[in-house]
Amino acid sequence: MGKVFVVSNRKGGCGKSFTTANLGVGLARQGKKVLCIDTDNQHSLTISLGVKEPDNLPVTLKTIISDIIDEKEIDPTAGIIHHAEGIDLMPANNSLTGIELALATLIGRETILKQYIETVSPLYDYCLIDTCPTLDMLAINSLAAADSVIIPVKPKFLDAKGLELLLKSIAKIRKQINPRLSICGILLTMVDKRTNFTKDIISMIEQAYGEQIHIFKNHVPHSVRAAETSATGKSIFTHDPNGKVAAAYEALATDLLAFGGDERG
């Protein structure tokens, strides 16, 4: 079974989809087989990996989840899109919006995604799940299916304060649904170290959480070049291979390869 990591935060705009895509490519560059799974109905990950018209896809995550709900046999490779940079994608589109209603009254609704991942993960070394910024049923499903959580955080005051909400959610899911769930670490993203305010927020996060939760030493810097990648359908490794952002995600991939799955605290 491949290791399953969910990229999660209760705050939008912190780089979840960007991290999922570029960490996936970073792992692929180190010889690993990687599946990225888009569980967000806004399908940012799907678009950023070059799918121009996701609503026209014949098979998406919504199709797979609907088949599991209807107790149909699923093909673990159905709908998977192969990206030129060596990773695979289970895409999403707007149809995923309706899945919340379908899951609402279902017995075992928190573990539907886990059933799919248990089928597909033996084909991969790593499965990376991109989530929406709210704790909806698919986000709960993602945490229920994961081995560990990567938390991207912008060094902004409200983003730092929002960490507490996510950590409480993770604790509840660990207690009630997925006791093996751990926190891989906090990844600081879009970091502009030229400002004292940014330095102060990073220091605040380190003081508040550093003793209990791993904080990745390599921060992802703010970069205009990085912001351009979503429109290209390529990773930062192709769009700006010699930049600091590519170096940060290469370091993150190396850290993840060394991660043993045990939370510090």
Which residues, given as ranges, of the chain have pLDDT below 50?
Answer: 261-265
Q: State residue 265's pLDDT score.
A: 32
Q: State residue 260's pLDDT score.
A: 56
Its pTM stands at: 0.93
Tell me the two tokens of residue 165. Answer: 């909400």
**3-258 is classed CATH 3.40.50.300:** yes
